[in-house]
Copies of this chain bind each other. A is one copy, B any other.
Amino acid sequence: MSSVETYLNDHYSDALDDLKAFCRIPSVSTDPAYAHGIVAAASFVAARLKKAGFLEVQLLETGGHPAVYGELVANPNLPTYLVYGHYDVQPPDPLEKWKTPPFEPDERDGRLYARGVSDDKGPLLIPILVAEAFLRVEGRLPINLKILIEGEEESGSLHFEATLAKYRDRLACDLVISADGAMWRPDLPSMTVASRGMLALELEIVGASKDLHSGRHGGSAPNPIQALMRLLASVHDKNGRVVIEGFGDGISVPDPAILIAIKSAQFDAAAYYQEIGVEGEPPIADGVELLTRQWMEPTFEINGISGGYQGKGTKTVIPSSASAKITCRLVAGQKPDQVAMAIERHLRKELPKGYSLQVHRHGPGSEAFFVDPQLPALAAAETVLSELLGRPPLRVAMGATIPIGAAFKKHLGCEAFFFSFSTSDEDYHAPNEFFRLSNFKIGMIAWSRLLTALGQSD
């Protein structure tokens, strides 16, 4: 055990106190009623960075909630890494489902229960504590370190890209390491190396210029709900795969190791459907196919639909319009603009006579994110985890979208990868969020070894 690791072990009790203090601050970013919590959490992070020994510590003006910045850049010959995290948390509702109050951290069975403890207060505190240990024990870090902790991740990171652009010189680095993210499963070491991108659309179909009586006009007047059904039903084949021409152009596998992970994960499809409450025969019986669909294939998901009468009972109306909200998850190789064009072309081709169609796009969308499989830092992280956890981590993907990966690439021109010690089952967007304290400890050792390895490899 290195002396840094010994220091971390010896000071674990202080570290836990720090985490509890951090979790007592109700830093909910979506609700203005918690504005005081945001201010207090940003101050807490800044103070903790200063205490650890970080320099240039300050709150960065973002236009929204401030981001907190600090750095330990001592040697221009060493590579510079930027650590990312967020101090804001999800709302605690529904409050009545919490066993202990969300902002009064409670230790039970080796877990710490509190809102935000797993996402992302515990994981982001780790690299700060590790940097402090290096400074106390060795007087210096093995690498140059910058740290950026934002306060709007749980409310959509609305000002994040603008912040990266505004402070690009200060944030310049060789690689980003995100302390946000999560291990896939508690029993399986993994690193998330890919996530899907996103494209959001809204469709509106109009038939007649006003609502019509379905008795008098039924059979002759266009029914936009019917046209919408027809259009949307033409998007997928029987197995739920998108059949729009051009939709999947350019799709590639970002890292063959993900395919290996899918095969070796022994994913239990039946248990998955039971967990989400799907009755009867599972739509996809094979675990390998299921994970492939979630991780490696794009989707065209209808998130909402509305049209006509939606109250109680019946109304004999042919509505004038009907609409649908769509989000597509994109995989490596797909470009949001091209996908949007392919979709609109397909829908216009399928549109029956007597209707007009409007396709509205919500935002520019984002390409899929993936870590360069050859990245030396990724191999270093895998070695560290392999030693600590007893088996090499799988390289896994996730179905959801991580916008920060693309943002760092775009504005700082560098890669990013995820090195987080929360686990996806820790209820981080639900009541009774918790963080495994064993992972808090392991995380500190892992970060200290990773920083050491990164200092040697370069």
Residue among B202, B307, B399 making CB contact with A305, cutoff 8 Å: B307
Which residues of the other chain, B, contact A208 by a CB distance below 8 angstroms? 276-278
Which residues of A in the span 307-366 have a Cβ within 8 Å of any Cβ on B?
307-310, 313-320, 322, 324-325, 327, 329, 352-354, 356, 362
With beta carbons under 8 angstroms apart, the residue of B214, B305, B309, B317 that contacts A299 is B214
Report B-chain residues with C-beta under 8 Å of the C-beta of A24: none
A409 interface residue per 8 A CB criterion: no
A266 at interface (Cβ–Cβ under 8 A)?
Answer: no
A258 nearest CB across to chain B (Å): 14
Query: Across the interface, do B362 and A313 meet the contact criterion of CB distance under 8 Å?
Result: yes
Scoring A272, A282, A304, A329 by chain B CB atoms within 10 A of each residue's CB, the highest score goes to A304
* A297 neighbours in B (Cβ, 8 Å): 219
Any B CB within 8 A of the CB of A209: yes
Docked-complex contact B307 and A215, CB < 8 angstroms? no
Indicate how many identical chains form the complex.
Answer: 2
Task: Specify which chain B residues have a CB less than 8 angstroms from the CB of A213 in the assembled complex.
Answer: 400
Instruction: Assess whether A217 is in contact with B399, with CB atoms less than 8 Å apart.
Output: yes
A376 at the interface (CB under 8 A from B): no
A210, B275: Cα distance in complex, Å: 10
CB of A314 within 8 A of CB of B362, answer yes
| Residues of chain B contacted by A352 (CB below 8 angstroms) | 238, 240, 283
B319 pairs with A310, CB closer than 8 A: no
A305 and B305 form a contact (CB under 8 A): yes
Cβ-defined partner of A278 (8 Å) among B196, B222, B276, B327: B222
Among A38-46, A71-79, A224-232, the one that faces the other chain is: A224-232
Known interface pairs A213-B400, A217-B399, A278-B208; A225-B318 also in contact (CB < 8 Å): no
Instruction: Select A218's contact among B223, B232, B329, B353, beta carbons within 8 Å.
Output: B329
- A401 on the B face (CB < 8 A): yes
Query: Do B304 and A309 touch (CB < 8 A)?
Result: yes
Q: What chain B residues lie within 8 Å of A310 (beta carbons)? A: 304-306, 325
The proximity string for A residues 277-298 relative to B, scoring 1 for CB distances below 8 Å and 0 otherwise, is 1111111100000110110010
Asked if A303 contacts B278 (CB within 8 A), the reply is no
Residue of B with least CB distance to A309:
B304
Residues of B within 8 A of A314 (CB): 200, 202, 303, 325, 327, 362
Contacting residue for A232 out of B229, B291, B309, CB 8 A: B229
A107 to chain B, nearest CB (A): 29
Could you say which residues of chain B place their CB within 8 Å of the CB of A221?
276, 278
Top 3 nearest A-B pairs by Cβ distance? Answer: A209-B277, A215-B400, A233-B233
Q: Out of B219, B238, B290, B319, which one reaches A399, CB within 8 Å?
A: B219
Q: Are A215 and B229 in contact (CB under 8 A)?
A: no
